[in-house]
Amino acid sequence: MEFTVLTLFPELVDTFFEHGMIHRGIESRLITGTCVNIRDFSCDRHKTVDDRPYGGGSGMVMKPEPLEAAISFAKEKTPKAKVVLMTPQGIRFNQQKACDLANRREDLIFVCGRYEGIDERVYTQLVDEEISIGDYVMTGGELAAMAIIDSVARMIPGVLGSEASSLSDSFIDDRLEYAHYTRPEVHNGLSVPGVLLSGNHERIRQWRKTSSLQRTFLKRPDLFETQVPTVEEKKILRQWCRELETLVNP
Ligand code: SAM
């Protein structure tokens, strides 16, 4: 899967491609990560990429010509790629969207805006999809593109090393992930739950399921609205309620 980022700040994104699991995925040729500097496609000697908005008002707008040329250049290299505009006005990104993009394996070209955003004509003629990473406004689209690439790439088999680790992640099946512990066995007087040391896989699975449900219930009860509890989950939640009742009314 090829990720191309069109940006005025390629150094920001290049650093991201050079670290951690993403770097490993690139080294293993499971994904590619490339930056295209939009400024390289400016037609004047001052390398201008922005201009004043028609109709007046504050801020600058990204000029259409350099952006259009940068998109064409990226499309020549990855002709089947989808052009995705980073904008707070797009559909809100979530784990489901990350899974969809990873499963489709389409190459992606990310357009990172700056200033007040891009000229509307580039959006209407060249953009396939708009994505937002949340209901807040940042100064540029680079962090948004990196967030999306990071979460999509880790779902490509082999990037994380073990696929199992992404299967129990939070938001898979609309639940939060269970609590984690590592050595030492006792830290600041707090012990690791005994069941995790038992070696009994079924009991560990049950404990993790319970931990995941408790966390979802306490931190993100709204997730039970998108995915109603299964029979097994209801049983676990009832058992937890009984335990809480005995704590309150011993
Ligand atoms: N004037 C625009 C508006 O109100 O919709 C916001 C422009 S913002 C200051 C500059 C650029 O940052 C945008 O073109 C976009 O690429 C990026 N950006 C800002 N917030 C974002 C978000 N929540 N998700 C994705 N991209 C975002």
Residue 117 is predicted with a pLDDT of 97
Determine which one of 68, 130, 169, 177 is catalytic: 169
**Residue limits of CATH 3.40.1280.10 in the chain:** 2-163
Is 135 assigned a catalytic role? no
Q: CB of 134 closer than 6 A to ligand 1?
A: yes
Residue 167 confidence (pLDDT) above 90? no
Query: CATH homologous superfamily of domain 186-248?
Result: tRNA(m1g37)methyltransferase, domain 2 (1.10.1270.20)
Measured N-to-C along each axis, helices 142-153 and 10-17 cross at an angle, to the nearest 10 degrees, of 20
Which residues 6+ apart lie within 8 Å of 136 measured at CB? 88
Residues 208-226: pLDDT tens digits?
Answer: 999 999 999 999 999 999 9
Query: 153 forms bridges with which residues in the sheet?
Result: none
Ligand 1 contacts CB of residue 114 (under 6 A): yes
Q: 226 CA to middle of ligand 1, Å?
A: 28
Which pLDDT score, from 0 to 100, does residue 168 have? Answer: 84
State the CATH class of domain 2-163: alpha beta
pTM: 0.95
Mean per-residue pLDDT over the chain, rounded: 96
Nearest to 134 by CA among 89, 82, 84: 89
Ligand 1 in contact with 10 (CB < 6 A)?
no
Catalytic annotation on 116? Answer: yes
Q: Where are the beta strands (DSSP E) in the chain?
A: 2-7, 32-37, 50-51, 61-62, 82-92, 108-112, 129-132, 186-187, 190-191
Q: State whether the beta carbon of 112 lies less than 6 angstroms from ligand 1.
A: yes
Residue spans in the chain of domains classed CATH 1.10.1270.20 = 186-248
* N residues, the chain: 250
